[in-house]
Amino acid sequence: MPSVTPQFLRSRIGKVCVAIIGATPAEMLEKATAVVKETPFLEFRLDYLEKPLLALPKLKHFLSDNTAVTAIATCRRSANGGKFSGNLAAEMEILSKAGTSGFHIVDLELESAESLKKGELQKLRDTGVALIISHHDFAATKDLDGIFKRIEPFQPDFIKIVPTAKSLTDNVTLMRFIERMDDHSNIVGICMGDAGIISRVLGLRAGSAFTFAAATAGEETGPGQIAARTLIETYRIDQVDAATKVYGVAGNPIRSSLSPIMMNTAFRRETVNAVYLALQANKLADLLKLVHEIPIQGLSVTMPLKQEIMAHLEKTDPLSAKIGACNTVLRQDGKLYGFNTDVAGITGPIEKRMSLRGAKALVIGAGGAARAAVFGMRDKGAEVFILNRTAETAQKLAKQSGSKTIKKDALSKTTFDVIVNATPVGMAGIKSTPTLEAADLNTKLVFDLVYNPLETPLLRLARQQSIPIITGIEMFVQQGARQFEIFTGKPAPEEEMLRVVIHALRQQAESVAETPAPAAKTKKAS
């Protein structure tokens, strides 16, 4: 059987390879059939099957019926982050038979290749398949050149190097490595982990031959993997080029942020050549280095960085300076400038419903968002009370803003016009005990700045007592729309931004309702 040439493969493969998993061949084929209409480049994770060899005749039939498909066979052993519990000989038998069953490429991990006896790799190649030799590091991003030197002697058709990003700048390390290897058009490079999203979106621009995606959300075969539709529709990965400007939302945690879907939708709607990424920033120094290295043109700054970033800005608008917190950063001529769009996002929705002049307001929290709420409402003439778990921080903010502090046990005896929650309590993915009880809601209006989930425990409590509410979505879209205008100089498509956020939140709520209890986790790769 003649070998598949890399040139032939290059003419067939797309930029995104979708990983197909399933507990049975039928489940795998059902998923592949759904995906192939949009993306005909597929990786079949044979190690997810109980008996991979028995599945090959069915997969062969699928591939002969779907001639547009380019298929990778992977049977990664558990020692290398896969699910296959068999030995090396069993793995090689499966991959060799995949080679004669219509698969175009097989993925063999470096450790397996290094353990093979002389001539065994050639037997695999004699089946006519192209070969990927891959290496996964679940702990860090280190010595990429050393890994390349170990893989190169095998002369594979593709070299796949997948470290784990422990910091944002690990992505830069990987992408600079790919760029240095520009005479090797066969390198696939991805960083795993929450911080690795940058490499998954910008890796192709750096020269990665292709990238991997999950068939759908919840079917990821590696930490931080993105669903194919999200990569193609939200991040518009096919259109990311050297001229694409990069923006992002930076904070910790950032996984459940809907800023990327909102901002990327706005960029697409207004035909802006830009992409907006979620940046898991554990340390501000790491984020600032990334901003200059990529370079990133603008940032939405969220918890817990809104105050800390102030010291690193060339200049801020008067509002940010007064509040001491900034949620928007623009990079111009290598320097960073700060703005605060949170204030308008908080006072705007309240003033649609009541005048803040002379109103009595309670703000829960004393961080960046709380500071925006306190100063914003004070500027509009409201009398503001602050409740915070750390009384000292509340007292400091009260002194700076001309507000008052209040203790939790005084709430049930005090009435307010509006209560604003400016803490992460109630946010999806954050375990926390509610700050307020039903007896504390002596107010005409409740505003929760948390926007995910759609209905927070606080808003549910308010609804139960027939108190009018403002959801965090209003604030989220308002402040995001102003950020879009600062970033691009164009009017924001607010209705479209609101629509896509509500749609995403409803989808999340539906999938949470349908998801069974999670099983024990195992290590996964790619």
Active site residues: 136, 160, 306
Residue 366, marked binder: yes
367 belongs to an annotated ligand binding site:
yes
Q: Are 131 and 157 in contact (CB under 8 A)?
A: yes
- 29 labeled binding residue: no
Is 338 annotated for ligand binding? no
247 among annotated binding-site residues: no
| Residue 201: burial class (beta carbons within 10 Å; 0-12, 13-18, 19+) | buried
Q: Which has the closest alpha carbon to 192: 165, 214, 159, 219?
A: 165
Please check if 485 is assigned to a binding site: no
3-state secondary structure of 162: strand
In 3D space, the residue among 90, 110, 112 whose CA is nearest the CA of residue 46 turns out to be: 90
Nearest to 267 by CA among 298, 293, 290, 294: 298
488 in a labelled binding site:
no
Q: Is 525 annotated as a binding residue?
A: no
Is 479 labelled as part of a ligand binding site? yes
Does 229 belong to an annotated binding site?
no
Distance CA 254, CA 264 (A): 16
Question: Would the annotation count 472 as a binding residue?
Answer: yes
Distances from the Cα of 372 to the Cαs of 158, 382, 385, 408, 500, in angstroms?
A: 51, 13, 14, 21, 25
Task: Please tell me the distance from the alpha carbon of residue 138 to that of residue 437, in angstroms, as a whole number.
Answer: 43
- Is 416 annotated as contributing to ligand binding? no
What is the b/e burial string over 421-454, where b = at least 16 CB atoms within 10 angstroms of the residue's CB? Answer: bbbbbbbbeeeeeebbeeebbebebbbbbbbbbb
- Phi, psi for 204 (deg, rounded to 5): -60, -40
Is residue 368 part of an annotated ligand binding site? yes
User: Distance from first CA to last CA of the chain, Å, rounded?
Assistant: 30
Cα–Cα distance, 45 to 53 (Å, whole number): 12
Q: Is 85 annotated as a binding residue?
A: no
Residue 365 is assigned to a ligand binding site: yes
Tokens of 417: 């016009």
77 is in an annotated binding site: no
Backbone angles phi and psi of 45, in degrees to 5: -85, 85
Q: Binding site annotation covers 440?
A: no
Q: Is 48 annotated as a binding residue?
A: no
What length is written for the chain?
526
Q: From the annotation, which residues make up the binding site for NADP(+)? A: 365-369, 449, 472
Q: From the annotation, which residues make up the binding site for 3-dehydroquinate? A: 43-45, 76, 200, 221, 225
Q: From the annotation, which residues make up the binding site? A: 43-45, 76, 200, 221, 225, 257-259, 302, 327, 342, 365-369, 449, 451, 472, 479
Q: From the annotation, which residues make up the binding site for shikimate? A: 257-259, 302, 327, 342, 451, 479
